């Protein structure tokens, strides 16, 4: 899988050789504070090795690298839900702080959403962001996602109970935006 984002950025499969750049960009408290606790901080080479091993076992593969020509600078993926929620996928992403504010995350979310709808039989892709991370909400809105609501006091991060903001896009909405 390879999705060109422009300006040399792309979404692609992870490689074992990505380990050092994953650690370089993931080991950042400003990145970790906006993600679930399963994304560790500090982020070590052992954490990157475990992540790459987990990705190799995925079937289908649903997590990919955001990269420039030289290195991994982030990650994007979906979790396919099951049971009565099988029409929905949860989207997650992160980008190294040195690359914030360049539109890379928005391009990655938009392109990856297209790939998700093309690759899986889902009617909805959704994402939750902490209320303390409005930049991520702006990324989703610029990528065509719609704010659906506030999940009050639904998460705890670093000992603080937070609201989460729910964004989603439906397949037919995405298709209308891209036609």
Distance CA 124, CA 72 (A): 28
Residue pLDDT, tens place only, 97-149: 999 999 999 999 999 999 999 999 999 999 999 999 999 999 999 999 999 99
Dihedral sign for Cα atoms in the order 35, 120, 172, 11: positive
Residue pLDDT, tens place only, 20-78: 999 999 999 999 999 999 999 999 999 999 999 999 999 999 999 999 999 999 999 99
What is the domain partition of the chain in residue ranges?
Answer: 2-178
User: How confident is the model at residue 107, as a pLDDT?
Assistant: 98
Give the DSSP letter of residue 119.
Answer: H
What class, spelled out in words, does domain 2-178 have in CATH?
A: alpha beta
- Helices 104-119, 171-178: inter-axial angle, 10-degree rounding: 120
């Amino acid at each position: 899988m390879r999705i060109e984002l422009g300006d040399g950025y792309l979404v692609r499969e992870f490689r074992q050789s990505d380990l050092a750049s994953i650690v370089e960009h993931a080991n950042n408290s400003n990145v970790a504070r906006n993600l679930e606790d399963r994304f560790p901080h500090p982020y070590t080479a052992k954490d990157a090795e475990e992540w790459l091993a987990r990705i190799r076992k995925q079937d289908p593969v649903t997590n990919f690298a955001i990269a420039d020509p030289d290195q991994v600078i982030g990650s994007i993926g979906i979790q396919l839900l099951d049971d009565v929620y099988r029409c929905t996928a949860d989207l997650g992403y992160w980008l190294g702080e040195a690359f914030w504010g360049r539109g890379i995350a928005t391009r990655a979310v938009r392109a990856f959403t297209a790939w998700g709808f093309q690759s899986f039989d889902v009617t909805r892709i959704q994402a939750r962001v902490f209320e303390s991370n409005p930049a991520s909400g702006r990324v989703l809105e610029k990528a065509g996602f719609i704010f659906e609501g506030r999940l009050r006091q639904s998460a705890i991060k670093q000992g603080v109970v937070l609201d989460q903001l729910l964004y989603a896009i439906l397949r037919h909405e995405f298709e209308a935006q891209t036609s």
